Amino acid sequence: MIITRRTLLGVAAAIACATAIPAFAAKPLTIGFSQVGAESEWRTANTASIKDAAKKAGVTLKFADAQQQQQNQVKAIRSFIAQHVDVIAFSPVVETGWETVLREAKNAKIPVILTDRAVKVTDPSLYVSFIGSDFVEEGRRAGRWLLDYDKKNGGKPLNIVELQGTTGAAPAIDRKTGFAEVIAANPKLKIIRSQTGDFTRAKGKEVMEAFLKSEGKNINVLYAHNDDMAIGAIQAIEEAGLKPGKDIIVISIDGVKGAFEAMKAGKLNVTVECNPLLGPTLIQTAQDVVAGKPVPKRIVVNEGVFPAEVAAKELPNRKY
Ligand code: GZL
């Protein structure tokens, strides 16, 4: 077969078309994410879920750890704006102080998605969606467990000490509200001390030591806003020569593996689940926002309550 110059050019053009990278291939989505910190087992699982979901979806994730400092989150959000990311997402360490920086994001036409914790702003258009738990309901669930426990154990007066989460954080404010609302039904249940343990094991232990020093055997129940503070407090209770889970009933929230292990050991009585696996929902919501699809303003995650009796059976199924 004689190959003419014309034929060669035709073949070359055909190959060029077939191999050229499409000029308009969609560029991967870029999300700037500002994380609270690495203060708890819950946070570690939450970060892993977000990074894993971004990787699976081929999303470019710019991730910043704020070490539980609001000014670091503000700085990170401003940096994401300067980098012209497609979407900004963050878990706000506290509820207030976000109006200015969120307005800067809005003026830059960068949509903002809240995950995990809420913000208090006068203009709800400053974020497109909030994906996270109902913390008031988590507090109510902890309170309902205690009401039920008290009924089954003779309805004695119970003195409660409370380890609050980070001051000003939505989960701390709301878990306190929900628990107090429910236990108000039984005047024999009294919160005698309440202080922040900042959601960490170390601080939870330190504050529980102070509670034990001042209240000693007067304490019947510990209500901790997260498992990490409860696990720290359990150490303090044991070092004081008391039996956690027996001498002092221990109630906490999150449902991390450490809590299931403590329940198996008889040192924790119940954990109220707070699901940290928000990554897939965050990525899908970001993709929908960029595609111009409507997204719900509020996406609530489903969660359960795990008393010690089910811990051994449940532990192997836990994903975080
Ligand atoms: C709750 C989350 C809280 C967890 C803590 O959604 O914000 O922060 O309960 C974590 O363990 O530190």
User: Which CATH number is 135-274 given?
Assistant: 3.40.50.2300
Task: Please state the atom number of ligand 1 nearest to the C-alpha of residue 170.
Answer: 7
Domain with CATH 3.40.50.2300 in the chain: 28-133+276-301, 135-274
- Each residue's pLDDT tens digit, 16-59: 444 444 445 678 899 999 999 999 999 999 999 999 999 999 99
Q: Whose CA is nearest to atom 11 of ligand 1?
A: 42
The atom number, within ligand 1, closest to the CA of 41 reads 11
CA-227 nearest atom, ligand 1: 11
Ligand 1 centre from 100 Cα, in Å? Answer: 25
Q: Does the pLDDT of residue 312 top 70, yes or no?
A: yes
For domain 28-133+276-301, give its CATH number from 3.30.1450.10, 2.90.10.10, 3.40.50.10780, 3.40.50.2300: 3.40.50.2300
pLDDT at 23: 47
* pLDDT computed for residue 21 by the predictor: 45
Q: Is the pLDDT of residue 12 over 70?
A: no
Q: What is the pLDDT of residue 27?
A: 80
Q: What is the mean pLDDT of residues 224-252?
A: 98
Residue 25 has what pLDDT?
A: 63
What is the per-residue pLDDT for 6?
52
Q: What is the pLDDT of residues 122-159, one digit of tens each?
A: 999 999 999 999 999 999 999 999 999 999 999 999 99
User: pLDDT by residue (tens digit) across 188-204?
Assistant: 999 999 999 999 999 99
Q: Which pLDDT value is given to residue 216?
A: 84
Q: Which residues line ligand 1 (CB under 6 A)?
A: 39-40, 42-43, 116-117, 133, 171, 199, 226, 228, 253-254, 274
* Cα-to-centroid distance, 50 and ligand 1 (Å): 15
CB distance 195 to 213 below 8 Å = no
Among 137, 199, 231, 275, residue to substitute to test ligand 1 (most atoms within 8 Å of Cβ): 199
| pLDDT of residue 3 exceeding 50 | no
Position in ligand 1 atom list of the atom nearest CA 169? 7
Q: What is the mean pLDDT of residues 214-229?
A: 96
pLDDT of 5 > 70? The answer is: no
Q: State what percent of residues in the chain have pLDDT above 70.
A: 92
> What's the CA-to-centroid distance between 43 and ligand 1, angstroms?
6
| 226 alpha carbon – ligand 1 mean position (Å) | 7
Question: Does the model's pTM come out above 0.85?
Answer: yes
| pLDDT, averaged across the chain | 93
Q: What is the pLDDT of residue 24?
A: 53
Task: Give the residue, out of 36, 41, 42, with the most ligand 1 atoms within 8 A of its beta carbon, to mutate for a pocket test.
Answer: 42
Instruction: Using a pLDDT cut of 90, give the percent of the chain over it.
Output: 90
pLDDT, residue 17, reads 47
Does 77 have pLDDT greater than 70?
Answer: yes
List Cβ neighbours of 4 (8 Å cut-off, separation of 6 or more). none
pLDDT in tens, 288-299: 999 999 999 999
Q: Give the amino acid at 276.
A: P
Query: In whole angstroms, what is the distance from residue 265 CA to residue 244 CA?
Result: 10
| pLDDT score at 7 | 52
Burial of 309 (0-12, 13-18, 19+ CB in 10 A): exposed
Mutate to test the pocket of ligand 1, among 226, 256, 302 (most ligand atoms within 8 A of CB): 226
Q: Which atom of ligand 1 is nearest to the CA of 133?
A: 6
**Nearest atom, ligand 1, residue 228 CA:** 11
78, 67 in Cβ contact below 8 A?
no
